Structure 1
Amino acid sequence: MEILKRSIGVNFNADNGAVIKVWAPDATQVSIDTGTLQLELKPALGGYWSLSTTLIKPGDLYWFIIDKEQRLADPASLGQPYGVHGGSLAINAAYNWTDSSWENIPLKNYIFYEIHTAAFSDEGTFKGIINQIDHLVELGITAIELMPVASFPGKRNWGYDGVFAFSVQESYGGAAGLQELVNVCHQKGLAVVLDVVYNHVGPEGNYLSAFGPYFTDKYKTPWGNAINFDDRGSDGVRNYFIENVLMWFRDFHIDAVRLDAVHAIKDFGALHILEEIRCHTSFLLEKTGRKHYLIAECDLNDPRYITAIGENGLGMDAQWADEFHHALRVTAGEPAKGYYEDFSGIQHLAKSYADAYVYTGMYSVVREKTFGRKPFGKTDDQFVVFSQNHDQIGNRMLGERTSTLFSFEMYKLMAGAVLFSPFLPLLFMGEEWGETNPFLYFVDHSDPELIKQVRNGRKEEFAAMFDQGETPDPQDEATFNQSRLNWKLIGEHRHACIFNYYKKLISLRQEYLTFTAHEAPKVTVLEARNSLLLERKCADPTRLIWCVLNFSAEQFELDIPDHMTLTDELVNSGSSVWLGLSELSSANFNQQISVSPESFIAYSAKYV
C-alpha cells in the first residue's frame, strides 16, 4: 500500500492523469465507463484491476462494468452527486490548504462538540458550520466532532447508514466543502474529529458484494452479516478501510477519527483490523510529522482497546465512556429502566470518576453475566464523557434533550459534573444554551419495505424503556425538521445564562485542570445526601480544586475538610449570578459552607 497517497478508486497525479484501481477478485473483466467512453482495466496482484489514462478527467461521471454485465458506482468513490444509486464523480482531491502552521493539540486539551451537519444550521451544510465557528471559539470548544459524512441515501440521515465510505455527502457540500471546513477550523484553532463506521454498511445503495467478499456469514451483527475482516478474501476488505482512515488524515487533514461501535467489528485473526489501522496510522504520522488520534466507541469495558500495541493492546488513543453517562443520569433522577437498570446512582458515579468504567468484573443484571475489567494504568485523557450525545438523546423514543428532562438547576449541575471530571468532555450541539428541540432518529430511504423495517425496528428497540405513545416516523421530513437547532434561543434569558455558565465552566477547566499529570480525583460519597465531593489536583502541587456536587433537593451545611483551606469560590451554580434558587453565598467561607439543592460548586483551595 502506498501510504502517502490514495491508491484505490480514481485518483489524479500531478499532471492530472487518472490512476484507476478497483478490487474485484472474482471478476473476469472490468471496465470504466463514462457514458461516452469505455476503457478496460488490467488485472493486477491481489484481485485488483488497474489503469492509467489521460482520457478520464476531473468532473467526469463514471461507473465500473463488471464482466460486461453489472454497471456499478465505485466503492472508493469520492463523490456521489446523484445519490447512492447514481454514478461516481471523478475528483482531484488536491486542495489549496492554508493550515501549514496548524499543529494538532494534545488530546488532553480536547473539549469535543458533537455536530450533525444538517441539523446544526439553517443551511444544513459544512458552510453552515463555518458560519458558526466563532460561536464555538467563544464558547471555548477546542475540537468539533462531525457525525458521519459518508454518502447515505437521500438527504436526511444520522450518517450511520453510509454506503460509500470515501464519498462525502453531496447535500452537505461534498469533498471540497469538508476540506474548506477543516481548513477554516484550523485557522480558528479548532481540531476536527470525524465519526467513521467500520462495523457495518447501510442497507440501501450497498453494492459492495458485487465487487468482492466484503461480508461474511460467519458472524451476525445487529445490521446483518458482518464485514469480512478475517474470512476468505478479506485482504482487500481490510485494505479498503485502512485506506479510508489514511485518506481522512492525509487528504482531508482530519485530526482524529471516532470509530463507531468497535465492539461490533468481528475479527478473530492474529492481527486485529484496529491494530493494523493503528500501525498504518503510526507510519503515516512518522512520514508526515503530523499528529492524529484514533478514538473508539466500545461498550465492552475492555482496556485492551486503548492499550498500546507493544503491550498486547489494539492501540486506540482513547474511547467513549458511556457508563459515566449512565451513572450520572441515574444519579440525577433518570428512571433505572432498560440499560440504566444496571446503575445504582451516586456510588456508581463515584466509581466512574475513579475508574472511568463502572463495571470492572461485577455481575450485570442487564447482561446477565459478570462484566468488564479494571483499566489499570490508563490515563484520564483516554476517556471521553458526556451528559448527552446523539445516541443517548436519539435512542429515546421522543428524542428529548437533557434540558427538557431535568430541572434548570440539575442541568447546570450535570454540566459541572462533566466539565470538571478528569476525563475529556464532550458536548452535544445546542447543549451549551439548553436547546429544547428534540434530536430524533431520521432517515430518507426510497425502498418502501426498508422504510417499514426501520419504522418497526425503532419501535422495538426501546419498547422496554419508554411507553409514551406513538414513535415519531423516522422517514417523515417533519421528524428531521423538529431536530434542527433553534439558534434564536441563545439570546433568551435562561438560555443566555446557560451559555455564559458553560463558557465559565470551560474557561475554569482550561485554567485550572489541564495539566500534564493524570491522576484520578479523590472522591468522597455523601450517600445520605446524594452528593459527591471531588478533589482535583492542580499543576501547582500545593493547590487543588474542590468540587461539591449535590444531586439532592435539600440544602445542607458542609464542613470543610481539615487538610485544605479554601481560597476562592470559582463557580456556584446555585447563586443568583446563574439564576440559582438560593440567595445564600458561600464566598465568605470559614469552616463550613452552604450547599444549595441540585447544585455544583467549585473552589480553589490549598493544602494545609
Structure 2
Amino acid sequence: MNTSSFGPEITEDGVLFRLWAPLQNKVRLSLEPGGIHDMQPGDEGWHLFKAEAAGPGSRYKFVLSNGLAVPDPGSRFQPEDVHGPSEVIDPSFSWQSAGWRGRRWEETILYELHIGTFTEGGTFLSAIEKLDHLKNLGITAIQIMPVAEFPGRWNWGYDGVLPYAPDASYGRPEDLKRLVDAAHEREISVFLDVVYNHFGPDGNYMPLYAPLFTEKHASPWGAGVNYDDAGAAWVRELVIQNALYWITEFRMDGLRLDAVHAIKDDGREHLLHELAGRVQTAAAGRHVHLVVENEDNNSALLERDHQCRPTSFTAQWNDDIHHVLHVAGTGETFGYYRDYADDVSKIGRALAEGFVFQGEHMAYRGETRGTSSTGLPPTAFISFIQNHDQIGNRAQGDRVLASVPSEALKALAAVYLLSPQIPMLFMGEEWRAEQPFPYFCDFNAELNDIVRKGRRTELSRLPGFDAGTMLDPAAESTFHSAKLKWPTDQNDAWLTFYRFLINLRREHIVPLLTNAGSGAGVYEVAESSVSIAWRFEYSTLRLCANLSNRSCICRVPEGDIFFQLGENEAGMLSPWGVVWTLE
C-alpha cells in the first residue's frame, strides 16, 4: 500500500483515500453515500482515510477546514465536471493488445488530433471508428491533444486542472483505454499531449491547501508552478507520477510536453530530466518516446549519447521548419514570419540542421534565440506544415495552406513528408480539409469575457484584423465549426497523393534512419532554390527544391530519382519543383 501517491487506492478491504494538504490542519472525507469522515494526518502533509464501504463507482470530495468541499487533485474521473465530486475508478482493464511493445522512433509518422472535433461524436469511442482510415493512410502514431479534465463542455485541452482525469465530455477512462488498445491492434502508437507548465484558470483548488505555485518564478499564466521552492518535492511528484500514470496504466507510447520553456526549475536536477529518467525506467523495454515543445530551441534537451540515442527527450516540435515552409507557400510575413522571409537559406538550414536560429538575434523576440543543433540527427526534430497552434492562433482559425495553389501545397507536402525529420500531419490535412480550428473554451461568464478581450488584443496585431468578424472563443458555434467534415470518397485526389508520399517515405526514407548516428545534413542555395544532402552510413539522400513562383537555377544531383514534381531542363527547375534522389 502506497500512502504517498495521488488518487485513491482500491484495496482488498475498501479504498484508501489520501490528500496532500500541508496547509490544512484538518481534512474530512465526504463520501456519496457513506457520510463524512475525519481523515488522519500523516507524514509530510498527507491526510489519509480507509473507507471499507467504498469501492469502484464511489463518489467523494475532500472538505477543508473552512467547509469548502473540493475534488481530488489525483481524481481519475470527474463525471460532473471540475467542481463536482470525484469518482473511484477500477484501474484494471482487459487489454487485447497485451503483447504490444511500441514502434521504433524512425518509423513514426505522427497525426495530431483533438478528440472533441476529430469526429462528429467527439468521444474516445467515436475516434476508434477512424483508426482504419489512419492505418490505410500509413499513419504509425496518433498524438492526442490534452485530455486532462477541463472546465465546461469544450476546450482545446490546455486549460486542464485535474491532470489524472480524462475529461468526461470525451468519455470514461476505460473508453480512452479502448482507444489506445484499438490503435495498438492496428500497430498505431498513441502519444498524449500533457501540460506541466501551468494549470487552467477555473477549478484548480490545490493552492488552497498545498504550495502548488511560487512567486519565485513567473509564467504567462501567472505565478510559476512550484518545482524548486519550499514544499516542491510533492508538486514534482504530482506531475512525475502523472507522466508514469499515462505510460503505465494507459499504455501510452509517448508524451508530448507542452511549452517546456515555461517550466522553471533552479533545483539540483531540473524537473524535465528527472521526469524523463523515471519514464524511461518505467517503460521497461517498451518503445516509449518523449517529445517537447520548446520555444527557446534549447538543443541540450535533445542530447544523444555516444550511440546517438536520446539521453532525455527523443525529439522537439520544429516550429522553424513550419515557419519557413509557411512563408514560402503563403507569402505571409507578419509577426514572427518576417524573420523567416526573403532568405531561402533558412529553408536549407531548417531541413539540414533543425533550428534556423541557433544563437542568432531574432528581431521578433528582440533577443538571441536557440543553441546549435548541427550535431543532432534529423530524427531529433518533428516537422509539419499545420498544427493546432499555427492554425488556431489566427484571427479566424483558418487553414491558410488549404487555400494555396495545388502545385505549391504539393511541393510543401513532398518536402516535409519525405524529409528525414519525423513528419506530423494535423487532422484533416490529408484531404485538404478547409474547416477552421479556432481557439475555443467554455468557462464561466466572467472568464469567457476575459478570454474574449485577451484574444481581441492579441489578434489585433495581425494585418487585416477585423474585431467584428473575430470568432467568439466561448461560442458553441465556434467549437462546432472546428469539427471535421470527413470525405466520403477514399479515392479523393489529395488522400491518394498523401498515401503515395507516405508510402515513398516507408520505402525509401525509413530504412535510412535505422542507423541513429547518421543523417548529417548540408545545404546550398542558388537563386530561389535550395539543395540539401543528408549523408547516411551507406547512402546519400538529396533534395533539390524550388519553392517559388518562377523557374530558377537548381543543380539536380546525380542518383536515382524516386520523386519529382515539375520540370528540370538545362539546369532550371520549374516553379514549385521538387526532386528527391537517393544514391
Same fold (TM > 0.5):
yes
Q: How does 1:566-577 map to 2 (within 5 A)?
A: 566-567=559-560, 569-574=561-566
Aligned equivalent of 2:448, options 446, 451, 454: 451
Paired-residue identity, %: 34
Q: CA deviation at 1:159?
A: 0.3
Q: How does 1:151-190 map to 2 (within 5 A)?
A: 151-190=149-188
Q: CA-to-partner distance for each residue in 1:241-287, whole Å, 9 max, x for gaps? A: 011000000100011000000101121111111111122213213xx
Q: CA-to-partner distance for each residue in 1:167-196, whole Å, 9 max, x for gaps? A: 001111121111000011111000000000
Whole-Å Cα distance in 2 between the matches of residues 305 and 314 of structure 1? 8
Whole-Å Cα distance in 1 between the matches of residues 16 and 278 of structure 2? 22
- Specify the alignment match of 1:55 in structure 2: 53
Residues 422 and 521, structure 1, Cα contact 8 Å, conserved in 2: no
Residues 16 and 57, structure 1, Cα contact 8 Å, conserved in 2: no
Whole-Å Cα distance in 1 between the matches of residues 13 and 134 of structure 2? 38
Q: CA deviation at 1:394?
A: 0.2
- Specify the alignment match of 1:215 in structure 2: 213
Whole-Å Cα distance in 1 between the matches of residues 488 and 337 of structure 2? 31
Whole-Å Cα distance in 1 between the matches of residues 364 and 349 of structure 2? 19
- Specify the alignment match of 2:298 in structure 1: 302
| Structure 1, unpaired ranges of 5+ | 575-583
Residues 556 and 579, structure 2, Cα contact 8 Å, conserved in 1: no
Q: Does 1:474 align with 2:452?
A: no
| Matched AA of 1:133 | L
Whole-Å Cα distance in 2 between the matches of residues 59 and 549 of structure 1? 59
Whole-Å Cα distance in 2 between the matches of residues 231 and 112 of structure 1? 37
Q: Does 1:95 align with 2:93?
A: yes
Whole-Å Cα distance in 1 between the matches of residues 100 and 277 of structure 2? 24
| Matched AA of 2:291 | I
| Matched AA of 1:482 | S
| Matched AA of 1:483 | A
Q: CA-to-partner distance for each residue in 1:409-434, whole Å, 9 max, x for gaps? A: 11111111211222111100000110
Q: Does 1:523 align with 2:515?
A: no
Instruction: Note the aligned Cα RMSD (angstroms).
Output: 2.3
Aligned equivalent of 2:23, options 15, 18, 26: 26
- Specify the alignment match of 2:65 in structure 1: 67
Whole-Å Cα distance in 2 between the matches of residues 453 and 160 of structure 1? 16
Aligned residues: 573
Q: How does 1:84-233 map to 2 (within 5 A)?
A: 84-233=82-231
- Specify the alignment match of 1:579 in structure 2: none
| Matched AA of 2:426 | F
Residues 33 and 230 from structure 1, CA distance in 2 versus in 1: closer, same or farther, beyond 3 angstroms?
Answer: same
Residues 397 and 466, structure 1, Cα contact 8 Å, conserved in 2: no
Residues 113 and 429, structure 1, Cα contact 8 Å, conserved in 2: yes
| Matched AA of 2:337 | Y
Secondary structure in 1 matching 2:211: coil
Secondary structure in 2 matching 1:50: strand
Residues 272 and 538 from structure 1, CA distance in 2 versus in 1: closer, same or farther, beyond 3 angstroms?
Answer: closer
Q: CA deviation at 1:452?
A: 0.8
Q: How does 1:422-571 map to 2 (within 5 A)?
A: 422-445=420-443, 447-470=444-467, 471-488=470-487, 496-514=492-510, 515-517=513-515, 518-526=518-526, 528=527, 530-537=528-535, 541=538, 543-555=539-551, 559-561=555-557, 564=558, 566-567=559-560, 569-571=561-563
| Structure 2, unpaired ranges of 5+ | none
- Specify the alignment match of 1:578 in structure 2: none
TM-score (norm 1): 0.89
Q: CA-to-partner distance for each residue in 1:312-340, whole Å, 9 max, x for gaps? A: x9822221111111122122343221111
Whole-Å Cα distance in 2 between the matches of residues 349 and 490 of structure 1? 35
Tell me whether 548-557 or 58-67 shows the greater mean CA deviation.
Answer: 548-557
Aligned equivalent of 2:243, options 245, 261, 268: 245
Q: How does 1:1-20 map to 2 (within 5 A)?
A: 7-13=5-11, 15=12, 17-20=14-17
Residues 26 and 64, structure 2, Cα contact 8 Å, conserved in 1: yes
TM-score (norm 2): 0.93
Residues 559 and 592, structure 1, Cα contact 8 Å, conserved in 2: no
| Matched AA of 2:487 | K
Q: CA-to-partner distance for each residue in 1:349-370, whole Å, 9 max, x for gaps? A: 1111122111112111112222
Q: CA deviation at 1:308?
A: 6.0
Q: CA deviation at 1:523?
A: 2.3
Q: Does 1:600 align with 2:582?
A: no
Q: CA deviation at 1:468?
A: 3.1
- Specify the alignment match of 1:581 in structure 2: none
Residues 308 and 523 from structure 1, CA distance in 2 versus in 1: closer, same or farther, beyond 3 angstroms?
Answer: closer
Residues 341 and 594 from structure 1, CA distance in 2 versus in 1: closer, same or farther, beyond 3 angstroms?
Answer: closer
Q: CA deviation at 1:559?
A: 4.9
- Specify the alignment match of 1:275 in structure 2: 273
- Specify the alignment match of 1:391 in structure 2: 389
Q: CA-to-partner distance for each residue in 1:429-487, whole Å, 9 max, x for gaps? A: 00011001111111111x22211110011112232223231311001111111111110
Q: CA deviation at 1:54?
A: 2.3
Q: CA deviation at 1:11?
A: 2.1
Residues 513 and 538, structure 1, Cα contact 8 Å, conserved in 2: no
Q: CA deviation at 1:571?
A: 3.0
Residues 272 and 314, structure 1, Cα contact 8 Å, conserved in 2: no
Whole-Å Cα distance in 1 between the matches of residues 369 and 277 of structure 2? 29
Q: How does 1:328-347 map to 2 (within 5 A)?
A: 328-344=325-341, 345-347=343-345
Residues 256 and 290, structure 2, Cα contact 8 Å, conserved in 1: yes
Q: CA deviation at 1:490?
A: 5.2
Residues 556 and 360 from structure 1, CA distance in 2 versus in 1: closer, same or farther, beyond 3 angstroms?
Answer: closer
Secondary structure in 2 matching 1:103: coil
| Matched AA of 2:546 | N
Whole-Å Cα distance in 1 between the matches of residues 97 and 463 of structure 2? 47
Residues 316 and 459 from structure 1, CA distance in 2 versus in 1: closer, same or farther, beyond 3 angstroms?
Answer: same
Q: CA-to-partner distance for each residue in 1:495-518, whole Å, 9 max, x for gaps? A: x11111111111111111113233
Whole-Å Cα distance in 1 between the matches of residues 347 and 460 of structure 2? 26
Residues 535 and 546, structure 1, Cα contact 8 Å, conserved in 2: yes
Residues 326 and 340, structure 1, Cα contact 8 Å, conserved in 2: yes
Residues 41 and 51, structure 1, Cα contact 8 Å, conserved in 2: yes
Residues 363 and 489 from structure 1, CA distance in 2 versus in 1: closer, same or farther, beyond 3 angstroms?
Answer: farther
Whole-Å Cα distance in 1 between the matches of residues 523 and 446 of structure 2? 52
Secondary structure in 2 matching 1:230: coil
Whole-Å Cα distance in 2 between the matches of residues 560 and 377 of structure 1? 26
Tell me whether 80-89 or 319-328 shows the greater mean CA deviation.
Answer: 319-328
Secondary structure in 2 matching 1:358: coil
